[in-house]
Structure 1
Amino acid sequence: MGRVKREASDEPYEDAPRRVRGKARQGGDTSTLLRQHKILATRVQATPWPEPGPATTAAPCDADDPTVLPTLKAYATQSHLPQRTQLMDIAWRPPRSEWAAPTTTTPASDVDEPRAAVPLIFHAAGASVPLSPQPYTSVPLRMYMHLTAADSTSATHPCHLLDAGGHIYDLAWAPQAEPQDGEYLLVACSQHREPSARVADPSNGDPGQLQGWVWDPSTAQVLCQGRWVCDAGAPLQVAWRPAPPPPGTLGVAAVSWSDGTVHLLAIPMQSKGTERLVAERVLRVPGTSCYSLAWGGDARLAVGCTNGTIAVWDLDVSDTPVCVAPVHDTTVSALSWQMLPPISVDGEPQLEARPHLLFSVGWDGCEHITDVADMEAPLRHMHSREPRYATTWLPWSGSWAVDLGDHQFGTVSLRTHDMGRHHALGFHHARVLCMAASALHPFLATGSAEGSVKLTSVLAMAKRKTAEEGSRFMHKLFRLARVDDGFVWHQGFYPEGVLPRAPTRKSGPPVVIDRWDPQVAVTSVAWSPNAGRALLLASGTALGLVHISWAEG
């Protein structure tokens, strides 16, 4: 793979002088990013967690406002974990458009029920307590952990473990235009936990399903509200349309299925038993199968296909893609739009335009930036011999986060002086499979094949000299591991530090030789996009378990 840019320091850490460098060389500035693109920030003044109720927000203001800049500086220099008192929405949202995604539901009596739950051994604070979650139910982890009031998972930091009954392909929190009584999570999973049981009908492939879960703050419970299947097979990727939901629904979701199609589904609030969803809007790319999804506003949808093709739709105009082009050599595993207003020829941001730059990674090990206006000429930034699995847009740094292919994750710089350079943020001890970022705080969540989820501050890790040397950390939220009689859920890890390296020292993460079961892999992570619940993090595993926690320091 290409060269990865990292810090360099010749002096001992405790004696190294603070060197003054310009903002351009330090990695940019969030307030400058907002000012250049005329993006207004909305301060979240109060979050009623864990009580029900809406968050209190201030009026949108620009980056020069004195109430905005102190929070941005605090994030870059002090915060190692998210804080509810520092939440601020800095997302750019393209203009809204009107279009519909009609969906009908019918009972589905032919759906197989999941088999018995896999026994677990839950481990915390030196004690092992047997825990056997049942399919379609959840358990609060705090009751199994014997924690004191000073622990990070106390009453104000509840954790839940829910059992979807089968392999988790993807999950996503539903966006809410107005605060609701609960938070809704859409889970795409298999109907069976055991790999041998997933193919009930060889002609239909893996019989997957969508599940709707709701977190109720008044009762502190997570409940399964609905289960839906489709004749298209198993749901592989889900992505909520970033727009107010139609009346009586949770919202519109784009779902890619194992038969190669993408369905635009209006997800019901709940179901009676298991129901079958029938979408009237189905997207296809001839000669290939659709896999990865990315919304660029509420009408522009990008789809990556298994033959390397990328297609883009403007759904308020037509069901025919506006552009289709071969970009990768094989499956496009992840896509992400540059969510910044395009800049006109006279240097002014076009706030009414739609995003046009698309970043993609694939199983061919390549990274491409593609302009919708010129799809036939993608720009390849780097190639590695390892497949890539994840990428996402980082609103707080104005860059893309990407799986670097060697157990590391980092950012792709868009600054003029080092365009396309990679800055390492952290590492796992196995392949990075998924990542998620938020417009409300600058913390990146990453999941790996070894069963761990880590939180990393993008500002503290990517900007040089904004914090003392050796004070930048990755916080491991949990790790799921396999033991002889079941599985173990580990929590309460110390932070892992990322120190600057001398120029003569070889770059790369520490060499760790380990073995892990494929079922412990973290396959998807998702932050809540809603202001009052922005610190809710959901993590899905190949075992079929989903971990939901309030990730606050």
Structure 2
Amino acid sequence: MPSTRRSGRLSGVRITYANDELESNSADETSKTPRNKGKEQVLDDYSDEEFQAPPGEEEEDDDSEDDSSQNEDAATENDAEGGEVGAALEVNKGSRRRHKAPKISQPRSTQKRQPGGTLALTGEETHSRGTWNPLEQVGKSVHLQATFGLDERDILAILYARDRWSRGIDSTFPTRVSLDEAQSLQDYKYGSTFGAEPDDLKRETSRGWDWYYSDHFGTRPRDWQRVESIPEREARQTFMPAPQGGMHTVLLGPANNQKGFTLDQYDVLNFGDAWGEARGRRTTDQTQPEKHKKKRQGWIINLGQRVQCAAWAPNQTGLHQYLAVAAPITNVQKEVYPDPLKDHAAPAFRPSPPYPCALQLWSFKADKGDSITKTIDMSFTPKLRLALCTDWGDLRRMAWCPIPREPRDEDDTDAYKDIGLLAGVYSDGYVRVISVKISRDPNKADYYRVHSPVFQAKPPSTVCTCVTWLSTSDIAVGCANGFVAVWSIAPLSVQPQSGSKISSLPYVYHPIHSTYILNIASAFPTYPHLVVTTSMDGETRLSSLADCEKDVVDATRMRVGSPHLTYSPWLQSFISSDENDFVRLLTLRRFYTTTAVARLPSTISALATSSSWHPNVLLGCTGGSVIATNPLRRLLHAKEKQWQQTWFSHTWARGEEPRSSGTSRFYDGYRAESISLLRNMMGDRKLINGTMVITIYEEQTHITTLSWNPNQSCAGWASAGLGCGLLRVEDLAM
């Protein structure tokens, strides 16, 4: 049996032999000191030295001087004997022993602060950062100043948002009560303008549009656009997607009792027919006909092809609302157009052939009511009011000019109603601005072929990829070579032959990234000169157009670039996505840090442009789900629970027939849920046996585009475009 292993340390006092008398005396005195007692005494001395006195200072108690005077005689005797160890362990009866403790590492102490929250620095210390450290535990007032700035305009703007949208009922979808209170609560002067000067915004809505109505060059810019009316048959056969030959089946309604509908191309479906009537919603007035309101109300339109982009027209104060939609033609239709640059570069970095494309403008109507917030009038079937046909390639991005325009006398004398200016990026590499006008007859649909727009431009040796508005006459464009170009569409010179504006050089053309720019957004209306760009190299960068060399801030770099980006004036932050299906918030004052505000079940594929009437965010993913959340409470208080709610979930399946458009199933009625925003947590739905997996969904299942209605009366309206060609419009205000 093997012997028990024992420690090799000696339990007793180690015996030493020395010839020197002094060493032997000191060793004897040392051996008389108990081992444990000496340790306790040393620890007691350390506690007196280290935990009672502040770091860097030596504090002595009242009897320290007596101890030092009594120890002088003993120290003199020990020096005479030459016994340094004996002097260190000499016990003086009736007095406290003081030992010089060895220098050990101290725990980090809390730094002192001034009453305002700033660090109390001594004369020798310096402060290298321009803002407070957000990782430190600070008060709420200091947190607001560190996040939104010290200027009263920024603080009052976020207080204005907090008073309206920090309630728990608005955690996911906006409510009608909060939307209707927009004009009754105090605006703090800068709240309704989001920190901008009210006089400046008012001047921009009036004098900012003088260039558009001016006839200084003989013709007004609003008349520069040249269009030609074409037959409806030609527009549908050439510029719109060709029918795929089969009906599209749609299943929706309650989960246990869904109904099936079939839609042909450009058919419109009221999906409220699949739901029962809502309780307590009938009209009690005997003079009016009884109205039956369904539990869910909205429209589904079959465009027949993947919805590339969609955006609601701003500055519409009437009952009619307009939604601009673009759906590219099919690949079979594109085969007849040769591509001479096919073998020269990747499709994203070169101009495409002149594919035909049509910009469709659909009309919806709001229901009359006494409240500010309107619902959708389900008795009015949506109609196609305008189709602008072009041969400039696919329309990849579109952006309406968001600046309001005060009505003028010229608007009433025009035979057509002016909807607004629409900037678009086409696959031939150009950025173009189109003036969208429709007939004043609500039952008429116009089909035009656009020969020349109000403005068009293209950077040298590259193509445009994304666009955003800076003012009524300035647009910023991202390019495939990493440059950002800024053009002014205000009149500088005019071609005498056609009257259209000459494509001038950009007055800002600067390299921001080293490769393809995926998206660009401006901090309008507070700081329109600040733009954020995302690139294929994973960089997200905030730049000032006043000085692109010095005024640059980088966010955390990702391994995969994000094509989704928008600025929310309510949050004073940019909203984007990351590589792990999280939605991140990039505050303007703390752009170098990110805050996770939502988590999606699959890869993010769509992000709605932020609304100027509520801070709620709408997100779509490749799995077919659309998520809504309000990041304001988490932005103000980092420990608040974050809630999100699913608008609907969509799934597409192939049909039995070869030319069938397939079958789409919708699920509605999801509850709000509190989510965890921790990364790499146990039980992650994407971890299977310790391996990260990603699910690949059908392209027709994807959510391709989302859009909030930017008008106050219909701020709760939202649209969602799907990969299978369906377009869903619904009022989400609760």
Does the TM-score normalized on the shorter chain lie above 0.5?
A: yes
Alignment deviations for residues 253-303 of structure 1 (CA, whole Å, 9 cap, x no partner): 111111111111111215756321231421211111112111123222111
Partner of 2:274: 144
Q: State whether residues 598 and 677 of structure 2, in contact with CA within 8 Å, keep that contact through their aligned partners in structure 1.
A: no
State which of 249, 260, 263 in structure 2 corresponds to 1:133: 263
Partner of 1:185: 323
SS at match of 1:239: strand
State which of 423, 430, 439 in structure 2 corresponds to 1:261: 430
Instruction: Look up the equivalent residue of 1:171 and give its one-letter code.
Output: A
* Cα offset, 1:334, TM superposition: 1.4
Partner of 2:360: 211
Distance in 2 (CA, whole Å) between partners of 1:72 and 1:29 is: 18
CA, structure 1 residues 200+150, in 2 after alignment: closer, same or farther (shift >3 Å)?
Answer: farther
Distance in 2 (CA, whole Å) between partners of 1:303 and 1:208 is: 21
Tell me if 1:464 matches 2:613.
no
Distance in 2 (CA, whole Å) between partners of 1:39 and 1:70 is: 11
Distance in 1 (CA, whole Å) between partners of 2:428 and 2:513 is: 21
* Cα offset, 1:183, TM superposition: 0.5
Farther-moved stretch of structure 1 (322-331 vs 373-382): 373-382
**Larger relative helix fraction:** 2
* Cα offset, 1:421, TM superposition: 0.6
Partner of 2:505: 320
State which of 150, 168, 187 in structure 1 corresponds to 2:307: 168
Q: Could you tell me the TM-score, scaled by structure 2's length?
A: 0.61
How do residues 187-202 of structure 1 correspond to structure 2 at under 5 angstroms?
A: 187-192=325-330, 195-202=331-338
How do residues 27-42 of structure 1 correspond to structure 2 at under 5 angstroms?
A: 35-37=152-154
CA, structure 1 residues 269+340, in 2 after alignment: closer, same or farther (shift >3 Å)?
Answer: closer
* Cα offset, 1:506, TM superposition: 7.3
Partner of 1:229: 389
Tell me if 1:103 matches 2:239.
no
Specify every segment of 5 or more residues in structure 2 that has no aligned partner in the other structure, as ranges: 1-133, 183-191, 213-220, 282-291, 340-352, 367-376, 493-503, 656-662, 688-692
* Cα offset, 1:173, TM superposition: 0.7
Q: State whether residues 272 and 296 of structure 2, in contact with CA within 8 Å, keep that contact through their aligned partners in structure 1.
A: no
* Cα offset, 1:389, TM superposition: 1.0
Partner of 1:425: 597
CA, structure 1 residues 180+239, in 2 after alignment: closer, same or farther (shift >3 Å)?
Answer: same
Q: State whether residues 414 and 420 of structure 1, in contact with CA within 8 Å, keep that contact through their aligned partners in structure 2.
A: no
Partner of 1:22: 140
CA, structure 1 residues 118+238, in 2 after alignment: closer, same or farther (shift >3 Å)?
Answer: farther
Q: State whether residues 27 and 463 of structure 1, in contact with CA within 8 Å, keep that contact through their aligned partners in structure 2.
A: no
* Cα offset, 1:525, TM superposition: 1.0
* Cα offset, 1:197, TM superposition: 4.4
Distance in 2 (CA, whole Å) between partners of 1:466 and 1:221 is: 46
Alignment deviations for residues 503-525 of structure 1 (CA, whole Å, 9 cap, x no partner): x9579885575341112221211
Tell me if 1:438 matches 2:611.
yes
State which of 616, 625, 647 in structure 2 corresponds to 1:477: 647
State which of 527, 545, 553 in structure 1 corresponds to 2:726: 545
Partner of 1:311: 485
Q: State whether residues 357 and 371 of structure 1, in contact with CA within 8 Å, keep that contact through their aligned partners in structure 2.
A: yes
CA, structure 1 residues 191+132, in 2 after alignment: closer, same or farther (shift >3 Å)?
Answer: farther
> RMSD value over aligned CA atoms?
3.4
Distance in 1 (CA, whole Å) between partners of 2:361 and 2:455 is: 21
SS at match of 1:462: helix
Instruction: Look up the equivalent residue of 1:201 and give its one-letter code.
Output: Y
CA, structure 1 residues 227+286, in 2 after alignment: closer, same or farther (shift >3 Å)?
Answer: same
Instruction: Look up the equivalent residue of 1:123 and give its one-letter code.
Output: L
CA, structure 1 residues 381+488, in 2 after alignment: closer, same or farther (shift >3 Å)?
Answer: same
* Cα offset, 1:142, TM superposition: 0.8
* Cα offset, 1:541, TM superposition: 1.8
SS at match of 1:127: coil
Tell me if 1:491 matches 2:668.
yes
State which of 333, 336, 340 in structure 1 corresponds to 2:521: 336
Identity of matched residues, %: 19
Partner of 1:71: 164
Distance in 2 (CA, whole Å) between partners of 1:495 and 1:379 is: 36
State which of 553, 569, 572 in structure 2 corresponds to 1:395: 569
Alignment deviations for residues 221-264 of structure 1 (CA, whole Å, 9 cap, x no partner): 22111222112121111111124386522111111111111111
CA, structure 1 residues 120+533, in 2 after alignment: closer, same or farther (shift >3 Å)?
Answer: same
Paired residues, number = 489
Alignment deviations for residues 117-136 of structure 1 (CA, whole Å, 9 cap, x no partner): 55223133123433222323
Distance in 1 (CA, whole Å) between partners of 2:700 and 2:142 is: 44
Q: State whether residues 447 and 454 of structure 1, in contact with CA within 8 Å, keep that contact through their aligned partners in structure 2.
A: yes
CA, structure 1 residues 506+306, in 2 after alignment: closer, same or farther (shift >3 Å)?
Answer: farther
Alignment deviations for residues 340-360 of structure 1 (CA, whole Å, 9 cap, x no partner): 545xxxxxxxxxxxx211001
SS at match of 2:634: helix
Partner of 1:14: none
**Larger relative strand fraction:** 1
SS at match of 1:269: strand
Instruction: Look up the equivalent residue of 2:620 and give its one-letter code.
Output: G
Q: State whether residues 364 and 388 of structure 1, in contact with CA within 8 Å, keep that contact through their aligned partners in structure 2.
A: no
Distance in 1 (CA, whole Å) between partners of 2:277 and 2:711 is: 29
Distance in 2 (CA, whole Å) between partners of 1:414 and 1:506 is: 33
More relative contact order, 1 or 2 (CA 8 Å, 6+ apart): 1
* Cα offset, 1:106, TM superposition: 1.3
Q: State whether residues 190 and 198 of structure 1, in contact with CA within 8 Å, keep that contact through their aligned partners in structure 2.
A: no
Instruction: Look up the equivalent residue of 1:22 and give its one-letter code.
Output: K
* Cα offset, 1:539, TM superposition: 1.2
Partner of 1:124: 253
Instruction: Look up the equivalent residue of 2:539 and give its one-letter code.
Output: C
- Which has the higher Rg, Structure 1 or Structure 2? 2
SS at match of 2:143: helix
Tell me if 1:83 matches 2:175.
yes
SS at match of 2:651: strand
State which of 544, 556, 578 in structure 2 corresponds to 1:404: 578
Tell me if 1:382 matches 2:556.
yes
Alignment deviations for residues 373-408 of structure 1 (CA, whole Å, 9 cap, x no partner): 223454332321212111111111111111123211
CA, structure 1 residues 33+298, in 2 after alignment: closer, same or farther (shift >3 Å)?
Answer: farther
* Cα offset, 1:548, TM superposition: 0.7
Q: State whether residues 365 and 405 of structure 1, in contact with CA within 8 Å, keep that contact through their aligned partners in structure 2.
A: no
CA, structure 1 residues 499+38, in 2 after alignment: closer, same or farther (shift >3 Å)?
Answer: closer
Instruction: Look up the equivalent residue of 1:497 and give its one-letter code.
Output: S
Instruction: Look up the equivalent residue of 1:103 and give its one-letter code.
Output: Q
Farther-moved stretch of structure 1 (385-394 vs 84-93): 84-93
Alignment deviations for residues 314-334 of structure 1 (CA, whole Å, 9 cap, x no partner): 333654322012222332221
Partner of 1:4: none
Farther-moved stretch of structure 1 (430-439 vs 111-120): 111-120
Distance in 1 (CA, whole Å) between partners of 2:683 and 2:479 is: 34
Q: State whether residues 408 and 509 of structure 1, in contact with CA within 8 Å, keep that contact through their aligned partners in structure 2.
A: no
* Cα offset, 1:499, TM superposition: 3.1
SS at match of 2:554: strand
* Cα offset, 1:163, TM superposition: 1.9
Q: State whether residues 334 and 391 of structure 1, in contact with CA within 8 Å, keep that contact through their aligned partners in structure 2.
A: yes
Distance in 2 (CA, whole Å) between partners of 1:202 and 1:543 is: 27
CA, structure 1 residues 235+202, in 2 after alignment: closer, same or farther (shift >3 Å)?
Answer: same
SS at match of 1:71: helix
Partner of 1:291: 465
CA, structure 1 residues 272+160, in 2 after alignment: closer, same or farther (shift >3 Å)?
Answer: closer
Q: Could you tell me the TM-score, scaled by structure 1's length?
A: 0.79
Q: State whether residues 481 and 516 of structure 1, in contact with CA within 8 Å, keep that contact through their aligned partners in structure 2.
A: no
Distance in 2 (CA, whole Å) between partners of 1:39 and 1:185 is: 34
Q: State whether residues 260 and 284 of structure 1, in contact with CA within 8 Å, keep that contact through their aligned partners in structure 2.
A: yes
CA, structure 1 residues 220+103, in 2 after alignment: closer, same or farther (shift >3 Å)?
Answer: same
